């Protein structure tokens, strides 16, 4: 399990590093990247385990704004 997590993290980091070093993505391109990352996170065993510990309100917020939006504070109106 640890090895898979490290491999996933490494692959994700590579994607994020390439994105950070390259030209800024269009809004549509960013949406595609976000959707792929949302899917990868949602399908990970670690996320599934963590998700089971959340309150009903937190789960509703995630359903409304997505995993990335929830982590970035969009659910409570916070901007970073």
| pLDDT one digit per residue (tens) for the chain, 80 residues | 333 444 444 455 555 555 566 678 898 988 899 999 999 999 999 999 999 999 999 999 999 999 998 988 876 766 54
pLDDT of residue 23: 74
pTM of the predicted model as reported, rounded to 2 decimal places: 0.60
CB atoms within 10 A of CB 28: 7
Of all residues in the chain, what percent are helix, strand and coil, respectively (each to 5)? 80, 0, 20
Q: What is the pLDDT of residue 6?
A: 40
Which pLDDT does position 18 carry in this prediction?
Answer: 57
Neighbours of 23 (CB within 10 A): 7
Residues 35, 20: Cα–Cα separation, whole Å: 17
């Amino acid at each position: 399990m640890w090895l898979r997590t490290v491999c996933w993290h490494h692959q994700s980091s590579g994607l994020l590093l390439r994105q950070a070093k390259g030209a800024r993505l269009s809004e549509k391109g960013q949406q595609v990247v976000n959707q792929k990352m949302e899917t990868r996170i949602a399908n990970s065993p670690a996320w599934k385990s963590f998700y089971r510990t959340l309150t009903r309100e937190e789960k509703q917020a995630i359903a409304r704004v997505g995993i990335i939006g929830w982590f970035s504070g969009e659910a409570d109106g916070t901007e970073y």
